Amino acid sequence: MHHKVKPGAPPARSTDGNKNLEFPGQALYPKAAMTKQAQSPAATKTSALAVWGLVLLTALAAWHFTACFLPWYTGQRAEHFARRLHDLSSLRAALADYHAKYGRYPANAGFDGAIGPKGETKNDWLPELAGEFLPALPRDPAGTSDPDKQYLYHGDGADYKIIVHGSGDCALARKAHPDMVDPTRDCWAYGFWTPGAANW
């Protein structure tokens, strides 16, 4: 015999309390499985050791950087800076000798260096100087193929400008030889120039 349920009427409640009442998912997720288990002492110790291991590795990496890489980088930077100063002085002396002999400075169309716009190498980037006044034209000690990071020269016969461009060590020049910092390029370049070429 079937009992009709009136529309909107609440379902009949069990008279036996809640012991037979099941909720969706109760069979799939027993109460014991849904309870968060406390972490064991061994797992806690392992986690602590992992954290301390990470701290130790970080400290060792920092020590290696400070003790090994930083002195090497600082030393190489100072060595390159000294070499650039030497090269600039040699070029300036050669230009003075050239001017004393010919009454003018080597002329070109614009700033030029040993590395061309497409990365090609040029041995005569400062015309008429190598051979008679210098054994060979120097190149930036970094040895890069970037045309924006090299020695650059421009002369019009009456004046000239020779600079180290984009070397990244202009702060050293600013500290040791502030008069060598290019007034046009600020700390992107430093070098020597005649008064008429200061703003080139």
pLDDT in tens, 27-58: 444 554 444 555 566 656 667 667 766 776 67
| DSSP letter assigned to residue 66 | I
CB burial readout 159-191, b (16+ within 10 A) else e: bbbbbbbbbebbebbeeeeeebbbeeeeebbbb
pLDDT of residue 76: 74
Tokens describing residue 182:
């290019």
pLDDT of residue 58: 73
pLDDT in tens, 63-83: 544 555 444 446 678 899 999
Compute the average pLDDT of residues 10-15.
49
Contacts for 164 with CB less than 8 Å, ≥ 6 apart: 84, 88, 140, 151, 173, 189, 190, 191
Compute the average pLDDT of residues 102-114.
97
Phi, psi of 67 (to 5 degrees): -85, -30
If one compares 49 and 186, the residue with the highest pLDDT of the two is 186
Name the pLDDT band for 20 (thresholds 50, 70, 90).
Answer: very low
pLDDT in tens, 148-178: 999 999 999 999 999 999 999 988 999 999 9
**Residue corresponding to tokens 């890489």:** 69
Whether residue 145 is predicted with pLDDT greater than 70 in this model: the reply is yes
Whether residue 180 is predicted with pLDDT greater than 80 in this model: the reply is yes
If one compares 143 and 35, the residue with the highest pLDDT of the two is 143
pLDDT of residue 97: 98
Name the pLDDT band for 14 (thresholds 50, 70, 90).
Answer: very low
Whether residue 112 is predicted with pLDDT greater than 70 in this model: the reply is yes
pLDDT of residue 187: 86
Compute the average pLDDT of residues 97-118.
96
The model scores a pTM over 0.75: no
Residues in the chain: 200
Residue-averaged pLDDT of the chain:
80
pLDDT of residue 148: 95
